[in-house]
Homo-oligomer: A and B are copies of this chain.
Amino acid sequence: MASSDQTQTAVLGALSIMPMTGYALREQIRDTLGHFWGESFGQLYPALTDLERAGMVEREGAGEGRSSRFAITNAGVTRLRELLAEPPQPTRPRNGMMLRLFFGRQLGPEACRRLVLDAREQAEAQLAAMKAARNDLQQEHHLTQDVPYILLTVSAGEHGARATIAWADETLAALESLPPTSTKDFS
């Protein structure tokens, strides 16, 4: 039980969609959940070991030369549903860009502008990634049960990205009219 509930939820969830190796799991979590979930990969294999010991996942096809894939068991599905039913535990927000803008008087308008431009670019990239994800999901016929739910998170990503872009454009305009901070200008 070294691994946290949070990590177990992500791992069991991913394996509930399809069995895969630890390596593939890592990639799926990075690439597919990446927009709203990050994992500490140093805990991933320990978590798999824990879950295996607890009978919630099984290795398939080990022994021969082939590498083993992990699959969720019935007990694992039960546990996953328990975990999902618990209220999400809120995580401490830490938005470095917002912190810098808030104290932007010390940083100056020019540096703020760069931060906002950067955020805008990231949002554009995210919008493109969400579009690509929509496309990919239509191809994956073996996921039909999961796709409607996954699309909800894709849609959230799109709404968020569009909001960021709109905000960035407004903000860039507002920053134009701000005077630079003088070096001695603090109380």
Complex CA–CA separation, A10 to B94 (angstroms): 11
Size class of A's contact patch? 35 or more
**In the assembled complex, which residues on chain B have CB atoms less than 8 Å from the CB atom of A84?**
100, 103, 106-107, 111
Q: Please pick, from B36, B102, B187, the residue contacting A98 in the complex, using a CB distance under 8 A.
A: B36
Known: A99-B33, A106-B13. A155 touches B171 (CB 8 A): yes
The answer on a CB contact under 8 Å between B93 and A36 is yes
The answer on a CB contact under 8 Å between A99 and B162 is no
The answer on a CB contact under 8 Å between A36 and B95 is yes
**In the assembled complex, which residues on chain B have CB atoms less than 8 Å from the CB atom of A35?**
93, 98
The answer on a CB contact under 8 Å between B85 and A111 is yes
Known: A16-B186, A163-B162. A105 touches B155 (CB 8 A): no
